[in-house]
Amino acid sequence: MAKKPCEFPTAVLSFRRFLQRRFLGGRHHHRPTSTTATGAAIPPADKLHNQTVMIDLESWLLRSPMSTFPYFMIVAIEAGSFLRGLILLLIYPLLWLLLSHDMRLKAMVMVSFFGLPEKEVVRIGKAVLPKFFLEGMAMEGLEVVRNAKKVVVFSPLFPRVMVEGFLKEYIGVNAVIGREVIAVAGRYVGLLVDHIDMDDGGFVDEVMEETKRGKGDGAVGLAGVGSKMHHLFSRYCKCICSTRNSAILMQETYVVCDADKKEWQPVPREKYPKPLIFHDGRLAFKLTPCAAVAMYTYLPWGIFLAVFRSLAFGLLPYRVSVPLAAFTGMRSRLIAGPSPDATRRNSGTAGGRLYVCNHRTLLDPITVAAVLNKPITAVTYSVSPVSELIAPIRTARLTRDRDEDRRRMEALLARGDLVVCPEGTTCREPYLLRFSPLFAELTGEVTPVALETRIDMFYGTSTKPAAKWLDPFYFMLNSRPEYHVEFLQPVSTAPVDGEAGGHGHSINAANRVQRVLGEALAFELTEQTRKDKYEMLAGNKGNVKGEAKM
């Protein structure tokens, strides 16, 4: 009797294919079947001039092989909570091992979005995610967008709400097409719609009409090897033909693979299409799975450190609290410059010194007081009762009435040293916002103080009213938070070069102090204000509690 062939090798091959699908994400580097595909990695500029470009976000605008997990973690934590992020982190290995790519995406959407308010997720898409997308953007892909007349971006992986703010506000694309997450009564239910709406505000209809009238040459497609973009383009054109008796002609489809992208370069900050001056959120690093595990492992110890540091600064004198904080990894570094005592030269006033500093966190005045090792007063607007209770220095509330605030600050300055932050709000990036000129009307000379911070995990600023009182706590939650403090040469606020007195001269004096601080810090000067920041990040005019301001 003939021996039955052994089936073991077939089983081994099947198991190997199973592992490849799970552990390699189902990537198959096959050649595209589209007859319009070209092997050129980057389309020449003349091919894109006055053209409409339909581009795959994940394949062409982002550098690294696409992993959506860090971005869903940001939504889960920033729009939800650390507990929601922990749940996503714990189930992700099972999703990665047991589910297909599309099912894994739907599961992450469910965990990250379920129950969240639509407005908050939209805010995260505009205020938090753009920073991380810009850091992962490819210079080569950005050049393609710049050379095109009109740009339609497809995002097969990310829900449209996550990428639309970044693409329209910072890249300037004309339309964003992606999958939608179902919402009911203003809250997401976590279900991802399979169908992709192929239009955005009528823009695609406009391109189609231009092609029909002979005013346009169609579109150029930019996709990734093995992606669904070729099928998406083909299905899109057929759908238009069947419904509107016309079609957008795909002249060529350029494809790129991961091997080509290994040589692609990140976009330097100075070449961002729009400067990243403002952004929100607590997380200061990209939450890859390994980084997320490290953060959650550190978090209990970090909370202990933050509580210990807060109590030390709130209860102990500076000569004790500063060394204790340094022992735990928190440092305040005085950069070489004029001695703080040297800044007490005669300024023509009988009161204290006026220290003017840029605004990084709510701890700025406390840090200045700790370096000086003496009591000072900080003026604030609407600081929360919790912040006032734990503040180790004197604080004085202002009213937003210019004349009344000037009288209050003059009285405080007559009694002792005063520190103000004329930007009016914190700024994380290397920019200085416009200075309020009120401080220049108080005294004939001010001492600029250049402040810079270093953090590794969490930002100590926020625009969410309910979380403002936690800002100092988040700064101290970092493993090695650091302040750099430099006392600069005093700057005269008296009129110069024939300037007349009054409000006009105080504006010029405020601008001089801003320039001095900008040069010391190598920060770029801007005309942005507190109102601009809050309108962009929070959708209001900054009338929230808990932010220090002069």
- Closest by Cα among 330, 355, 356, 322 to 460: 330
**CA dist., res. 410 & res. 21, Å (int):** 71
Q: What does the block give as tokens for 125?
A: 């898409």
Tokens 């840090």 belong to which residue?
Answer: 367
Strands (DSSP E) along 274-424, which ranges?
331-334, 354-357, 377-380, 394-397, 418-420
DSSP 127-145: HTHHHHHHHTBBHHHHHHH
- What is the reported pLDDT for 385? 66
- What is the reported pLDDT for 457? 96
What's the chain's length in residues? 550
Which helix (H) or strand (E) segment holds residue 473: the answer is helix 471-477
> Cα angle at 190 between 234 and 156, to 5 degrees?
20
Q: What does the block give as tokens for 290?
A: 């390994």
- Measured in degrees and rounded to the nearest 5, phi and psi for residue 37 equal -70, 145
DSSP 165-215: HHIIIII--SEEEEE-EEEETTEEEEEEPSS----STTHHHHHHHHHHTTS
- Measured in degrees and rounded to the nearest 5, phi and psi for residue 175 equal -150, 150
**CA dist., res. 257 & res. 549, Å (int):** 50
Q: What does the block give as tokens for 15?
A: 């198991």
Q: What is the DSSP letter of 137?
A: B
**CA dist., res. 7 & res. 295, Å (int):** 47
Domain spanning 287-536, CATH architecture: 3-Layer(aba) Sandwich (3.40)
- What is the reported pLDDT for 186? 94
> Cα angle at 365 between 360 and 368, to 5 degrees?
100
- What is the reported pLDDT for 382? 61
Q: Which amino acid is at 254?
A: Y
pTM of the model: 0.85
- What is the reported pLDDT for 403? 87
- What is the reported pLDDT for 120? 95
**CA dist., res. 415 & res. 419, Å (int):** 13
Q: What is the DSSP letter of 442?
A: T
Dihedral angle over CA of 177, 179, 181, 182, nearest 10: 90
Residue boundaries of the structural domains of the chain: 43-269, 287-536
- C-beta of residue 430 within 8 angstroms of C-beta of residue 279: no
- C-beta of residue 237 within 8 angstroms of C-beta of residue 231: no
- What is the reported pLDDT for 389? 65
Instruction: Give the mean pLDDT per block of 10 residues along the chain (550 residues).
Output: 45 48 42 43 75 87 83 96 97 91 92 96 96 93 88 90 95 91 95 70 58 60 71 48 44 76 89 95 94 97 95 88 92 76 52 92 92 88 66 82 88 92 93 94 92 95 85 95 94 74 79 96 95 89 48
What is the chain's percent helix, strand, coil content, to nearest 5? 45, 15, 35
